[in-house]
Structures are given as C-alpha cells and as structure tokens.
Amino acid sequence: MNPSAPVVALAGGVGGAKLAVGLAEALPPGALTVIVNTADDLTLHGLHISPDLDTVMYNLAGLSDPAQGWGIKGDTTGALDLLGRYGGPTWFRLGDKDMATHIRRTQRLSEGARLTEATAELCGALGVRSRVLPMTDSPVATRVQTPEGELEFQDYFVARGTRPRVTGVRFQGAETAKATPEAAEAIDSAGTIVYCPSNPIVSLGPILAIGEIEERLRRPEIPRIGVSPIIGGSALRGPAADMMKSLGHEVSALGVAEILRDYIDGFVFDDEDAPLLPAFGERGIAARTAPSVMTDTPSKKRLAIEVLGFAEEIRNQAPAG
Amino acid sequence: MNPSAPVVALAGGVGGAKLAVGLAEALPPGALTVIVNTADDLTLHGLHISPDLDTVMYNLAGLSDPAQGWGIKGDTTGALDLLGRYGGPTWFRLGDKDMATHIRRTQRLSEGARLTEATAELCGALGVRSRVLPMTDSPVATRVQTPEGELEFQDYFVARGTRPRVTGVRFQGAETAKATPEAAEAIDSAGTIVYCPSNPIVSLGPILAIGEIEERLRRPEIPRIGVSPIIGGSALRGPAADMMKSLGHEVSALGVAEILRDYIDGFVFDDEDAPLLPAFGERGIAARTAPSVMTDTPSKKRLAIEVLGFAEEIRNQAPAG
C-alpha cells in the first residue's frame, strides 16, 4: 500500500476497532488515522469516559479484552466494587486499569488539554502507532428516543441492555460542534476513506452529523469504502439490526449501504450475503463480498486488505484527472 | 464508660488510627469522634487524597492493611500501574480500592460537598460507627523546611522517605482556616479529649495551628490526655523522633508531653519509659505508664481503657464545681 496516500477510517466501538487493527496491520506504520465517535462519551464518578476512543485505543495497543472486545484483558474491578459501596453506579463496568485511562483523561482535560491532545498522549504512552482522533473536541451526546422517553445513550445501551425500541435518535450538540484541526487535516489529506463496520446510526451517524466533518468527507475524487456490520440480517454484536429496523431501514448490508450512500464509492459485505450483489448492481453501488467476521488478527488484516484492494480498484477505474 | 460524656480524639495517621480503633472498641457506639489532620492532603492524578482521614477510616472500618497500617488489605494496583505508564507519579502508592475513595471524594467535593460531608458519607458507607471529622474544611498544607529547601509534606514524607533533616515546619493556610460546625460542636460537648500517639509536630501540630480549634481545645474543666508516640527514644514508625530532635525537642515521652503541655492534664507513655516518671512529677505533669505498643485489637483496646481510666481518675480528683 502507498504510504503517501494515508487512510482515514471512521469508527465506533468494537466492530470498528477490529477493522482498525486490521488496517493498522495492513498499512505502513503511521499511514492510518482513525476518527472515532465520541457521542457515547459520559461522565461517571466525576470521570470523563470515552468508550469508543478507549476501545479503539486498547485494540490498537493490543491490550483489549479479546472476549468482550472492550476493556483491558485481565483487568480487576476493585475500584468499581468500592465505588458501588460508596453509592456510585456500577452498571457501567470499569476495570481498574481502565479506570487509570479515565482518571488521566479527566486530569488532562481539567488542566486544559483538548480531548484530541489527551487521546494522543494516552495512545502514545500505550505504543499505538496509528493516529486516533476523537471526531470532535466539542461535546456531542447521542440521545435515543424510545417509548420510555428520551434516554442518554449509555442508559439505553448498557443500563437497559438496548431493550427499549428506538423510535428516533438525535445528536445533541452536533449542530454546533467543530471539526478539530487534526481531523480536518486528516480527512483533507486522506487518499482513502473507510467506514468501519460500526453501527451506521449511532456510531457513524454522530460523525456525519457534524457539519464541518460531513462536508469534508464529501471527497468523490478518492475512493471511499463502507463495510457492513450486518451479516445475514443481524449484527454480530450491538443493537444495529433492531435499531435499523425500528427506524425503517432494511436490515441488511444493502440497508447499511443506503444509509451511507452519499459518502461511499464502494461497499464490502460478507460472503454469506452474496445473493445481495445484484441488488447492489441495480442501485448502482459498487460492491464486493469478503469473509467479514473478524475473530483474530489475521482475519482482521485479511478484511482490511480486501477493503484497501477494493479501494485501489476503484481509484484505478476513475477517469484520469 | 459514660455515653453521656463523648470522647474527642485528635489523630494523624497510623498511630492515631490504632488508638482510635481501641477507643471505638472501649466506648459505647457513637461516643467517639476522631478529629483528623488534613494538612497532609494532596492532589495527585487530579484526585483529592486525604491520607490521614483514610487511614483512620480504613482502620475503624476494619479494612486496613495490617502490615503497613495504611491502605486497604489485599488491594491491587492496576490503576496506579497504568497511571505510571501514562506519565503520572507512582511514588505515592494508591491501591485500586483505595482509588475508589479518592475518586468518590473528588467527585463529591466537585459537586460542592464539604470535606466533612464527603468523609461522613464514605465512613457511613463503610459502616464506621464513630464520627470521623477532618480538622477543617479549609485547605491547610504542611510545608517542611529542609536544607534542600521547603518541601511539600508528602514530598518529604513519601517521595524522599523522610531523609531530609527538618529545620522547620509551617502550616500554610492554618492562620485563616475555620473550624467546621461539626468539629466545634464535638470539642465543645466533649467529656474527654485524647491526643493520640501521633507525630506531635506534623500530625497534631496542624490541628493545634488552627486558631478556632486551638481555642476550643483549651477546656481545663474536662480531662485531656496525651499518649506518647515515642518509646525508648524512638518512634514506632515515621519521622517523629528525627523531627523532634532536629527541631530542638527532647526525643522522649517527656519531650512530647512538653509540646502538648498547654493542652493536656495527663500523659500516658510506655512502661519501658517508667524511669521518666519522676521527671514528669518534677515538671508537674500527671503521668502514667502502660503497655503502649498496639499490635492487634486487644492491645489497642487495652491502651484505650488505660487512657480513659486515667481520664476518669483526673476527672474525679478535680475540685467539685
């Protein structure tokens, strides 16, 4: 792959982090920038928690708990146990090592660092060689409308286990959120853009809801590839399928591609869904299937190579000039 | 002991906490209030840490690490290890459970709670039945003058292992610090006051440096008993002996009693130092010896009973009216 053509990947949590690992493996060191959803961020115990940033960071650092995909492998919960005894909430599981990340981030933010800067410091300390950027340093918060009322995202996602039916989603603060210089520069200089297999509504949606980011992502002169988090009509994890259905989207790779349609030149989905290929053709979306279940580093890298190869094909097909 | 005559104990860290445990064992539930030095408090990792309050609290809750006297038994250090990797200081050892205390305290203070209130909440959650009060809610910081310059207390005490020679001590903020309503009320209604075997200079010294506390402690109508942290010319732990020596005090139970002289009616020290009894007599300080090494709960309770019994003797000797 060409190190002079950097890759920007947009990601949410676990699924996005897996492909980010694959891309980092497939690309030369430093060629990957991951722009990560922060609309799931929350404050608990007085600490600033950025679940998706941390999941991407821990995965890229090789520290992630392989079973659950988030958190740090082998972590203990002494602090959370005692915080619970003190009356603090324990529904959001925070390990002790993980707590250090939130403590340090909170400290640096209180000292005036931007989230982008704090994230760069944390990633640097953990030896992450790809660049991890929050989608914005501005506060943006996903609110989920349900029959039980409007919920904070983590209340819906973790505390209520994604059980409430989602009737709408909004991204509070997105309308005034700013692109950071770092994210703007990364997108402007990208040679390829990858939409990771993250929830298109609540992981990629918030990134696209920021006007200054969304405008920059409209770069038809470079290949932009989406990857489906939906396989065989369901999501490997998380509420993407139920959420797409209740919001009126087709629960399939095609449904995801339709949501991202204005931003992509090609779409990759699982071999299992190969029967959808003609429908992609009818709707004029360049598509390709591949094994997309990422269970280990080789399978993450293999999918990344498929995605990057598809991008190169699209780049080479484009009319010169 | 008479529950209508509450006991106020003044304490620093480990030594004071041990006698506090003994007093709590010897007295009826709720009869003990411990007023604790906070001039050692520090901010690390953006968290408010109150080492002496925590040592007293953990000891009274039965959670304390019996080997080191501070911290929580069986605690892990996952958070501190990663904080170190993030570039944070690790010389002040913070366990994971212990971290929860600092996180919760910091959160409550940032929400506007007073340190007194936050401490009461923490103690309540841990089932502590005695009342634990910070000496003040105002910021007071012990500064230690040494040939290397003026040091923050924990820099001197932990980071430099009490090695620098102490040429002076000051309590920054003490001159303007306020007595809390809780501490004022506790002292005003005390039937007995006990000066725990804590460092008289940097543990009891800061409490006495607060004018509004010091004035209230001058209550000659009730028995006030001091207990020596110096046995046979040295301190069981900590820098009390070296510090007393370099500041020109006699390094003995008598030296401690002289420092506290204006505030005590009687003084208890170790049987080993019984040869000092005549000197106490010459100086007009009522004194008594007892086994004062506290290694377990029975020995803590035994010393507490000696102290309280001595107080009753003094009370009964006082002229009526």
Q: How confident is the model at residue B182 (pLDDT cuts 50, 70, 90)?
A: very high
In this predicted structure, the answer to whether residue B4 has a pLDDT above a threshold of 50 is no
Q: What is the pLDDT of residue A272?
A: 97
State the pairing for strand pair A131-134/A32-36: parallel
**Mean pLDDT (whole number) for A254-271:** 97
Q: Could you give the C-alpha distances from B125 to A78, A85, A99, B47, B104, in angstroms and in order? A: 16, 6, 21, 20, 11
Taking every pair of C-alpha atoms in chain B, what is the biggest distance, in angstroms? 65
Q: Could you give the C-alpha distances from B290 to A32, A214, A250, B263, in angstroms and in order? A: 71, 78, 82, 21
Radius of gyration over alpha carbons of chain A, in Å?
Answer: 19
Residues of A in contact with B86 (CB under 8 A): 100-101, 104, 121-122, 125
In this predicted structure, the answer to whether residue A307 has a pLDDT above a threshold of 90 is yes
Question: Amino acid identity, residue B69?
Answer: G
Quote the percentage of chain A above a pLDDT of 70: 98
In this predicted structure, the answer to whether residue B69 has a pLDDT above a threshold of 90 is no
B124 or A237, which is more confident: B124
Q: How many CB atoms lie within 10 A of CB A5?
A: 17
Residues of B in contact with A110 (CB under 8 A): 46
* Beta carbons of B104 and A86 less than 8 Å apart: yes
Q: Which residue among B45, B87, B96 sits closest to A76, beta carbon to beta carbon? A: B96
Beta bridge partners of residue A266, listed in sequence order: A225, A286
In this predicted structure, the answer to whether residue A5 has a pLDDT above a threshold of 50 is yes
CB A193 within 8 A of CB A219: yes
Nearest CA to B251 among B227, B267, B230, B279?
A: B230
Q: What is the pLDDT of residue B3?
A: 42
CA distance A100 to B319: 60
**Mean pLDDT (whole number) for A179-204:** 97
Q: How confident is the model at residue B67 (pLDDT cuts 50, 70, 90)?
A: confident
Residues of B in contact with A111 (CB under 8 A): 46
* Beta carbons of B86 and A95 less than 8 Å apart: no
Q: What is the pLDDT of residue B321?
A: 43
B236 or A132, which is more confident: A132
Residue in chain B lying closest to A127 (CA)? B85
The token pair that represents A115 in the structure block: 């989230």
Beta bridge partners of residue A141, listed in sequence order: A172
CA distance B290 to B273: 9
Q: What is the pLDDT of residue A320?
A: 52
The token pair that represents B320 in the structure block: 């009526």
CA distance B52 to B260: 20
How far the first Cα of chain B sits from its last, in Å, is 21
Q: What is the pLDDT of residue A321?
A: 43
Q: Which residue among A80, A82, A96 sits closest to B101, beta carbon to beta carbon? A: A82
Residues of B in contact with A76 (CB under 8 A): 76, 78, 96
Helix axes B115-125, B96-110, angle to 10 degrees: 140
Q: How confident is the model at residue B1 (pLDDT cuts 50, 70, 90)?
A: very low
CB A168 within 8 A of CB A247: yes
pTM (predicted TM-score) = 0.94
In this predicted structure, the answer to whether residue A232 has a pLDDT above a threshold of 50 is yes
Q: How confident is the model at residue A3 (pLDDT cuts 50, 70, 90)?
A: very low
Distance from CA of B124 to the nearest CA of A (A): 9
Quote the percentage of chain B above a pLDDT of 90: 90
B interface mutation test: which of A96, A102, A117, A122 has the most B CBs within 10 A?
A: A96
CA distance A175 to A37: 15
Residues of A in contact with B79 (CB under 8 A): 79, 96-97, 99-100, 103
A70 or A143, which is more confident: A143
> Tens digit of pLDDT for each residue in A66-105?
888 889 999 999 999 999 999 999 999 999 999 999 999 9
In this predicted structure, the answer to whether residue B147 has a pLDDT above a threshold of 70 is yes
Q: Which residue among B76, B88, B103 sits closest to A47, beta carbon to beta carbon? A: B103
Pick the range with the lowest mean pLDDT from A32-36, A107-111, A158-162: A158-162
B interface mutation test: which of A43, A49, A76, A86 has the most B CBs within 10 A?
A: A86
Instruction: Calculate the average pLDDT of chain B.
Output: 95
Instruction: Quickly tell me which residue has 């939130």 as its tokens.
Output: A102
Q: What is the pLDDT of residue A319?
A: 66
Residues of B in contact with A78 (CB under 8 A): 75-76, 78, 95-97, 99-100
In this predicted structure, the answer to whether residue A201 has a pLDDT above a threshold of 60 is yes
In this predicted structure, the answer to whether residue A275 has a pLDDT above a threshold of 80 is yes
**Mean pLDDT (whole number) for B285-296:** 96
> Tens digit of pLDDT for each residue in B249-269?
999 999 999 999 999 999 999
Residues of A with CB under 8 A from a CB of B: 45-47, 72, 75-76, 78-83, 85-88, 95-97, 99-101, 103-104, 106-107, 110-111, 121-122, 125-126
* Beta carbons of A125 and B85 less than 8 Å apart: yes
Residues of A in contact with B106 (CB under 8 A): 46
Quote the percentage of chain B above a pLDDT of 70: 98
CA distance A236 to B194: 64
Q: What is the pLDDT of residue B320?
A: 52
Q: What is the pLDDT of residue A237?
A: 81
Residues of A in contact with B78 (CB under 8 A): 75-76, 78, 95-97, 99-100
CB A43 within 8 A of CB A102: no
